[in-house]
Chains A and B, each alone.
Chain A
Amino acid sequence: MSERAYTVIGTRPIRHDGADKVTGRAQFGADLRLPGMVYGAVLRSPYAHARIRRIDVSRAASYPGVLAVVTAADLPEGPDRLLELVEGTLPLSYARANVLARGKVLYKGHAVAAVAALNRHLAEEAAALIEVEYEPLPPVLDVLEAMREDAPLVHEDLRMKEFGEPTGKPSNIGEHFRYELGDIEQGFAEAEVIVEREFRTVMVHQGYIEPQNATALWNQDGRLYVWTSTQGAFSAREAIAWILELPVSQVCVTPMEVGGAFGGKIRVYLEPVAALLSRKCGRPVKITMPRRDVFEATGPTPGTFIRVKMGARRDGRITAAQVWMAYETGAFPSGQCGFGATCMLAPYDIANLRIDGYDVVVNKPSTAPYRAPGATQAAFAAESVVDELAERLGMDPIEFRLRNAAREGTRRADGLKYQRIGCVEVLEAIKNHPHYKAPLGGPHRGRGVALGYWFNIGWYSSCTIAVNPDGTVNLVEGSVDLSGTRTTIAMQVAEALGLRVDQVHPRVADTDSIGPTAVTGGSRTTYATGWAAWEAAQDVIRQMKARAALLWEVRPEEVSFERGVFRAGDRSLSFAELAERLEETGGPIVGRGTVNPGSAGGSFAGAIVDVEVDPETGQVSVLRFTSVQDAGTAIHPGAVEGQMQGGSAQGIGWALGEEYYWSPEGAMLNSSLLDYREPTALDVPPIETVIVEVPEPNHPYGVRGVGEANIVPPPAAIANAIYRAVGVRLRQLPMKPSAVMEALWAKGD
């Protein structure tokens, strides 16, 4: 537990936006109404891979009620640059081509044209009148097939990079990287037990309930205003500006409330299209994505092929690990394989390892981050092998992990040396939890465990704090609030200033109103923006100390500030009392803070799962689930629990039922929430949570971001539990009932 005693941190206040959320007042992107607004609809490719021979928009353009039609021809051209994404960089030409296809369509659902009309129905009818002549090409749909020398090329101009250097080789492999520590030949030679297994996972979607949406107004003053459901107003601004060849300052992005994102709402899809339509018709244009398009045309997460080989001595020490992993990046290169490689063995101190990773393009939607991007697939493989290795050694799965646990000073696969981390603490919490030892009676029941890790990112955030005469403060920040960060950040300000939470008024601002702030993602928000807010609070304190010094005629260094009270000698003023006197001592005070931490302390997570398998049908029921995670310091324990439970439920869905089910031609057949099966309230049990607190060494309050690591353990934990329930190890996701049955039949019971 944290050593310091906090007043606000660790409490569970109701969020500042709570009343709006439960009364329907909160404004999500599709709720926006602007005078003169019209509606857009997007026409999308029916083919997974085809050349566009001809587009004829004339019938759509002349349809009654239609105000504008656009295609890729309406997008500007410009010098190619590298657009920053969370998961790497993407050539601007690719980002542009994803928004509206130029020359070729690269996945079924790829946007080809768009229409603006007086209402949505008219826009859809008109879009259907756009005639597109395609020349179908053979689609590349499997990651291993795509890597073959004779595979059709998705991009004629893509050249493979290897070990960070361009090779000039045309390929569907965007990048081949390698992480290497020690000497794996030596390591495997020392091993007395070796397990080598292959795993497959299928593309899945973040599954947020709110579809993408964007409203754009290309205003008469030449500025482009965009309201959108996004995780990052500033990253969206940059992407929109670059794609449209506008100066960044000419674009103002207002982030609306977001109905779930999980990494899938960082990229821009509709914004540039709505902007082009608005420019053509001179009116605000709103586009909302139908659910089918959300599945087919946004950024799901890669399907993968992963081979893991691990060796250990009989005393339980892992001596070597080798991984060969290939991730689909969808239609454009930029990938998450590296993240998977960084995280999959993170819980272990392994001296000898080699990971070869490949990011491979295929004719599927361009992949985007999904909560700990790349890590869940990799951990499914690694944690299953660890489980099997422990079993072969006759060791308890947690004892085996403790024997090899990463600690401060351990080297991660990519070479980084850990600072203080909570891996051992998470393992101990699992080991000591009643769930781990509870008897599990009944046939076909089993318990499994697994670990997960996400490194968390730092990046830049900016905040300002204005002091009100009544002693409350206005906090302005640029981090889009996905699930309550405006409150967790406000709590850090309240703690720093000795205020109550309700005395801090947080506001998430548009890109004109606050300094640049990186995306809400990477588990950075409570960490980095909280840190920036803390810096702004320190700035406020400094300035207010100077005012108190003026009033008391002492030097500012003689003024102290503790728990909301300024003191010098035997004189004191509370924050509110001093705030009342700001005007007479020089005027209003605004504090500011900007941070850009290079890295952040990562978060370890673990899961204990009990399952029951019906051996006659293959159905797997999750009976009991405990999520453990290192939060560093839990600012709002309820919010931390919520993250753990949400990520766990997503992990359960990923493990047992979610998948992109493909036709042979590369079309997703189950692009609805009926057949893309996200867990309902009946499909998950109550999710117990254990928050471990190993403070992050650099953050003022020891915060570790918690948004992501919790999704990583469930698939492996469930696979390990199924094994103990019915004796089969499943190595493909999802572990759906037919797959369980096939495994049971193969086992031949």
Chain B
Amino acid sequence: MAMAETPSIAVCPACVAIPTDLIKSAGEARSERSRRIELSLPTIHCAACISGVETSLSKLPEIEGARVNLTRKRVTITVKDIPGIETYLIDLLTSWGYPAKELDSAALDQEMVDKAGRDLLARLAVSGFAMMNVMLLSFSVWGGAEGATRELMHWISAVIALPTVAFAGVPFYKNAWTALRVGRLNMDVPISLALILASAVSLMETIEGGDHAYFDAALSLTFFLLLGRYLDHRTRVVARSAAVELAALEVHRAERINADGTREIVPMDALREGDMIAVAAGARIPVDGVVTSGRSELDPSMLTGETMPEAVEPGTSVIAGMLNLTGALVVRTEGLGEDTLLQQITRLVESAEASKNKYTSLAEKAATVYAPLVHILSAAAFLFWGFYSGDWRLAVNIAAAVLIITCPCALGLAVPAVLTAASGRLFRNGVLLKEGIALERLAEVDTVVFDKGGTLTTGKPQLMNGPAVSAQDMAVAVAMAQGSAHPMSKAIGEFGKAAGIVPATLTDIIEEPGMGTRAVLDGEEVRLGRAVWCGVESHDVAQSASWLRIGTAAPIVLLFEDTMRPEAAETIAALLDDGVDVQILSGDVPKPVEDAAERLGVKTWIAEATPADKVAVLKRLADDDHKVLMVGDGLNDAAALAGAYVSISLASAVDASRVSADLILVGDDLSQVSKSLRLARVAKRRIIENFAIAAVYNLIAVPIALMGFATPLMAALAMSASSITVSLNAIRLGRK
């Protein structure tokens, strides 16, 4: 399931986000027996890396072609279809100094050529070309050209502008039509109206040989608005392809034991009910099923939040996602019923999403105020001037001027420019923003709820009562723990190293998977492991623990607790400083949760929360008018993440949680929670500033237009100046 290491994300907002699957077609053309493999190479960075990887790979007989993409830090290899070739290539590349990780090609195929992006870019290019040329022609008109020269300029402008407005404005016309058909107004209605009216009025003026043609204004309007749309689109594409890559880093495979005893690595979707799966110690259980042979302990923290390992033996049911700690297991695959944990969680996620209120973005709020106002102003100007002067041509002219000058050119850029700058900065910090609107919601957060296991803690146990145990006993424990891969044994070893304890001399050390270790010390039997293993009948220890029994002496208890992330305390302190309330909501038993809360200075904590409890707690907070940010990673958090006002999951989280969350900490750095919160607040302030800037320009220009003094030069100046100011204000966010 989820990888423990930091996954690499090879796409960045600075790169053009047009994914492609070009090598696939080339591979298919060659032979049916060849296959395409994508490997992520996080460390490649230079020309020597490219040619090193490509030439060395091409020399191998199995390989038909290799192509590095440095922007995405990937290599695409066309290779003969030999079983196990991926592992071979990964080991090979790692030995050359390029640590490689496999990407799931099936998941990557989802990121197809971004057609919508190309379409927008083409329209943007055409309108940019037309705008610059028409502006150039307009200079002579602004400079006072008259008579035949002015008419020539107007005609050439018309020839360039009319087809461009018709072609480049299509996205606006479509949106406006969709809104009008259901009787609603959106930002695209005044935009479309302004474009069409300005072009029509200008054409009329040109035919009549009049003074004012607004071709340049119509084109720059189109260009700036398309720029906003494109930025918006690209932010989304970059986030989506980064999320796809994150998902592709998990290659879903299992080791199947066939009827004849042979073992074979197969993709997950090839598994059938009743298949036997081998699970090595240290690996995650790939499927729901029943253990048929082997003994071990499983760490369920990803699923339930509990850190206490569960013992399993033949006959025990296991759930996909649990980490196998000690011994190798064979699991028989069971069909997915209605009542598996995953199904329950999926249903909870769905209901949590459905009950979530629709969020109205700042841009939508602005549009609901703005769109009617513009239409009323423009219609009023038209009627007033028509009746007042009796000159209806003048009235149309003024109405068009009002529409063009008030048109939300800067408004169209105000939000996308800020979101692009902000998501770019977040990305550099290792935070993936899946949707722009989530940033606005993040800015309003007043309560942060953290999951404990895996989020505030690293999921690695730490020996808590080491100093309370006598040095002699500890020396035995350290000696027993040596050589075992069990996380608790490792914790004992670490404590011993830190405390400078010399391991006692033992003989006949034997590890019993799922139970513990036994050895001989001076002729006496020593046991370290689970309570049952050491002969403890009953106890009242409610946290992760191991027992040590030396000879016939009473067993000594060793208590363990999850290690806190080093940045957790500072993150929570920063959040409290910012006036945000912090709570802990965990599925673990009360004691460790209380300890963690105390150490981090968190007053409110809830333990033993089931996934449904978590959703209920968030619902209650929301009912009390709190805007809650949920931070979590386990499967038990998925529904809470989906139901929260805004949510953050970790890159190491399970699939379901990453899908439900609005932001992902790709860098696995918890301190980014408080930093992202601050950035979101600044971003929201910038958006509001941008609206204010646009409004100020309108306040100055609209009265002039209403009085009929507006000229094309003025429209061009107001529009460019406001768009540039707004963009610059947004860019400030990216550099700091």
Partners in one complex: no
